[in-house]
Amino acid sequence: MFQVFKNRLELQGTLKTVTALRISQGRSTEPIGSDLPVVKDALGKPFIPGASFKGALRSRLESFLRGINPTLAEDPNQLVSSDRMTLIRDLKEQHNGNDEALTNALWTQTDLASRLFGSPWIASKFQVRDLTVNTETWFGQYQERDGVSIDRDTETAADGRLYDFQVVPAGTEFGFQAVVENAEEEELGLLMIGLHQFETEQIPLGGGRSRGLGVVKLLIDRTWWIDYPDDKPDELIRYLQRLVKHEKDHYKLTSETFEAHKQEWTQKLIDHLQSRIPATR
């Protein structure tokens, strides 16, 4: 479907491990080494997949939305159910050749969470790069920890169930970069709520969370905001010219301005959610 550029929010910062972090790449096949190594790049450095960050963020926000109204964040199984996919195919056939009508029809089938994070029929507006390690905070080593499976009957270690796993040490920093494009104000408000959860150490990442692993803290220290009314195409042309001239910082927000935007977007989200609270008897 055809897209029209309306707005773009760029975010950069740092994600710091408050406790050790374990995002596993699966059981190792190496004869020597950890049973469960962490995910690494081609140079053997740890990184956090953007999909892991985005998935944890979406899961937390969906739990909030379902607590208000289940229709705001559908069960993922329902999004790919045979009945739903048949309905989507029927809509595409019904509006074949009329992109605007098809877009509107698909929009009515899309919950708030999927409008921001994507669904099988609508692309995500929010993109997160893989978070690469800051080598000044990581000293080229991993911590090895022991694990054991407990026999629930005897409450002792199960035979042959001892294993070890790698973790990235606490205090390691990763670079954070994300972009959201063409988002409505309530969608930006939803994103701000989710990022605030990371800023306040409320969303752990990876495995071993019941053991205290995976606590992280996000710091966003650079933001760029581009927003154009439909009736001012000349402003968009100037934006393109500035990009070519490497003048993107013309759109950089101060911390005070970004905070003001956050409050405005969050209020739009609150207004939207209040309109969706089910009527009580």
Number of independent structural domains in the chain: 1
**pLDDT score, position 32:** 43
What is the residue range of 123's domain?
Answer: 7-74+111-274
User: Is the CB of residue 214 less than 8 Å from the CB of residue 50?
Assistant: no
Instruction: Let me know if residue 104 belongs to a domain.
Output: no
Residue 49 falls inside a structural domain: yes
Residue 234 lies in a domain: yes
**pLDDT at residue 117, as a whole number:** 95
Residue 101 lies in a domain: no
- Inside any domain, residue 242: yes
**Taking the model in full, what pTM does it have?**
0.85
pLDDT at 104: 78
Q: Would you say the C-alpha torsion 263, 255, 233, 4 has a positive or negative sign?
A: negative
Residue 13 lies in a domain: yes
Indicate whether 97 belongs to any domain. Answer: no
Token readout for 240 is: 């393109």
Q: Which residue has the tokens 């190496």?
A: 30
Q: What is the pLDDT of residue 175?
A: 97
The pLDDT assigned to 86 comes to 85
Where the chain has pLDDT below 50, the residues are: 1, 26, 28-29, 31-33, 151, 281
Pairing of strands 126-128, 131-132: unpaired
Q: What local confidence, expressed as pLDDT, does residue 148 receive?
A: 54
In the structure encoding, which two tokens stand for residue 72, read together? 């705001």
Asked if residue 37 belongs to a domain, the reply is yes
